[in-house]
Structure 1
Amino acid sequence: MHLYPLSLKALSAGLLAASFMATASANDLPSQEFLAQQGLTVVGPLPAVGGLKAWAAYRDQQPVPIYLMPDGKHWVLGTVIDAQGRDVNGQALQSAVQKPMGEQLWADVQRSQYVPDGKPNAPRTVYVFTDPNCPYCNQLWLEARPWVESGQVQLRHILVGILRPSSEGKAAAILSARSPEQALASHARAHAAAGRGPAAENAGIAAQTKISAAMRQTLANHAAMMSHWGLRATPAMIWKDDKGLVQIRTGMPPGVLEEVMGKK
């Protein structure tokens, strides 16, 4: 999902909708237990038409509106439309959740046990969920060299072991190496050189056969973070754009590196 910057049009729509807002109190929300079961994070009151009380929330990168019915006992999670079928609160909802959702994701990836690649004072930092057996992850490592070696970007690889049986052992071997950065570099080069056939799984670093409980927990935390944020594929890149807004891209479509890292 692309988190779109707030436009003047969206801001105007939000201010207009605010004139119709009924006061929404946190005491009117469903129980914390219900919200937790639904995986919902509430941001705050949402301007809403129709006299309903509303809140902006998000789940798995998706904005979710919560509406309190007039009886004060029932809630609806869904979209309010007008007679023309238009989502009347969509822009206000996106505007409300974009920044807090992005900042929470940024705080989460900063707490990971990442492998740095590049200068720590680079003007742009890009977090990358990386599986050692992912050919596109290793392709990204190679193709990012111009940005990394010029000092423009520091990559921070958050290793996961989800694609193949050997992925967890390889990720553990990289993180346990004396120099994880060098271990990842050697692995990425060897894996990429082997191509994308059956031989690729045997290329690069050897998988650890005895993984400590602490390391398994670290890799499990990384995988859980991916799942929590709805990131379904590797590589998954997270960075802040020139406006300071958190952005997300998955995979390696043409032109994605210039979008993420800027011009070479």
Structure 2
Amino acid sequence: MTIAVFKRLAAVAGAGLLATTLAASAQPTQKPATSDLPPVLAKAVKNGSLTVDRQFKTDVPGVTGYVLEKDGQHQIVYGDHGYLFMGQLVSPEGKNMSAQYTDKYVPKPDVGKVVDQLKKTGHLVQQGPDDAPVIYVFADPNCIYCHRFYQQAESLVKAGKLQLQWALVGFLKSSSMGRAAAILSAKDPVKALVENENGFNEDSEEGGIKPVASPSAKLKHVINRHYKQMSSAGGNGTPTLLYKQDGHWAAKIGAPGKAWLKNYIDHQS
């Protein structure tokens, strides 16, 4: 799920921008004054909805790029004469300029740092043996794609070939926080997680465990912290997977499938 304030900006600003001419290369970045921003963006900054990390000149004359940040997530938008544009910036040759700008200007998430935080803060639900290749999973109890990932990984976990460390979040539905709290507060969180997945209703996209009516402030803090950690790792939806790749931690969004999981296990052995 993308950040709500980005969606609101999209509704105000329009669907996107198709570039028709190219000019000089993009210039060095700088953090803009609020008075220099397009009005819609300036308003969002003033009310604390988001921050603008930097601005840069694009290859399109007169069009300025802005790197927005909210809860650790970043997005590039474009401004021209007070107007704000969102979407991909595409050259006449069909080149995705936005991808180039993202690679150049958007900070890369420190996934390894997030993994270290998860190890220290606890409140994870572990499935699988300690010595198996591990994946950290940010998941919402009402997320159907998390449910599909659970199904994809289930046989590998039961066979002792994969370890999952579930970091529960709760933002998709009004019952998400209560279900995440129900799992974390259970006497046996693993059993509660399995109950939620075995009873998952795919038609309504609802988990199978009964939500806690009033989660404690402590549990809500834990679950909200998981969400912020997911965002810091570059995750903007669930499931977000943190996994080892060539000796470094990386992030992947979505259910990757059994073939990917088996390949991951083979490369960790």
TM-score (norm 1): 0.56
**Residue of structure 2 aligned with 1:26, choices 19, 31, 35:** 31
Aligned to 2:126: 116
Aligned to 2:260: 259
2:184 paired with 1:175:
yes
Aligned to 1:39: 50
Check 1:40–1:160 CA distance in 2 against 1; reply closer, same or farther (3 A cut).
Answer: same
1:210-240 Cα offsets, whole Å, 9 max, x none, are 53222233334445777897845xx512224
Aligned to 2:5: none
Deviation, 1:81, is: 5.2
**Residue of structure 1 aligned with 2:76, choices 54, 61, 64:** 64
**Residue of structure 2 aligned with 1:214, choices 218, 223, 226:** 218
Letter in 1 for 2:168: L
Alignment of 1:121-132 (within 5 A): 122-131=132-141
CA distance in 1, matches of 2:208, 2:78: 50
| Partner SS state of residue 245, structure 2 | coil
Aligned to 2:150: 141
2:242 paired with 1:239:
yes
Deviation, 1:101, is: 4.2
Contact kept in structure 2, 1:114 and 1:156, CA below 8 Å: yes
1:13-38 Cα offsets, whole Å, 9 max, x none, are xxxx9973434443678579767446
**Residue of structure 2 aligned with 1:196, choices 201, 212, 217:** 201
Letter in 1 for 2:104: A
**Residue of structure 2 aligned with 1:154, choices 156, 163, 169:** 163
Deviation, 1:76, is: 5.8
Contact kept in structure 2, 1:46 and 1:92, CA below 8 Å: no
2:102 paired with 1:94:
yes
Letter in 2 for 1:185: V
Check 1:261–1:19 CA distance in 2 against 1; reply closer, same or farther (3 A cut).
Answer: farther
RMSD between aligned residues:
5.0
Contact kept in structure 2, 1:56 and 1:96, CA below 8 Å: no
Contact kept in structure 2, 1:47 and 1:89, CA below 8 Å: no
Residue-pair matches, total = 230
Contact kept in structure 2, 1:126 and 1:155, CA below 8 Å: yes
Check 1:87–1:38 CA distance in 2 against 1; reply closer, same or farther (3 A cut).
Answer: farther
Contact kept in structure 2, 1:126 and 1:153, CA below 8 Å: no
1:159-218 Cα offsets, whole Å, 9 max, x none, are 23456665544422322245xxxx3432344445446389x97955x5445532222333
Check 1:223–1:241 CA distance in 2 against 1; reply closer, same or farther (3 A cut).
Answer: closer
Deviation, 1:134, is: 5.0
Aligned to 1:14: none
CA distance in 1, matches of 2:99, 2:146: 34
The percent identity for this pair of structures is: 17
Contact kept in structure 1, 2:137 and 2:242, CA below 8 Å: yes
2:114 paired with 1:107:
yes
Deviation, 1:54, is: 5.5
CA distance in 2, matches of 1:161, 1:118: 23
TM-score (norm 2): 0.55
Letter in 2 for 1:39: L
Contact kept in structure 2, 1:47 and 1:92, CA below 8 Å: no
| Partner SS state of residue 26, structure 1 | coil
Contact kept in structure 2, 1:118 and 1:155, CA below 8 Å: yes
Gaps of 5+ in 2: 2-21
CA distance in 2, matches of 1:161, 1:120: 26
Gaps of 5+ in 1: 2-16
Deviation, 1:64, is: 0.6
Deviation, 1:263, is: 5.1
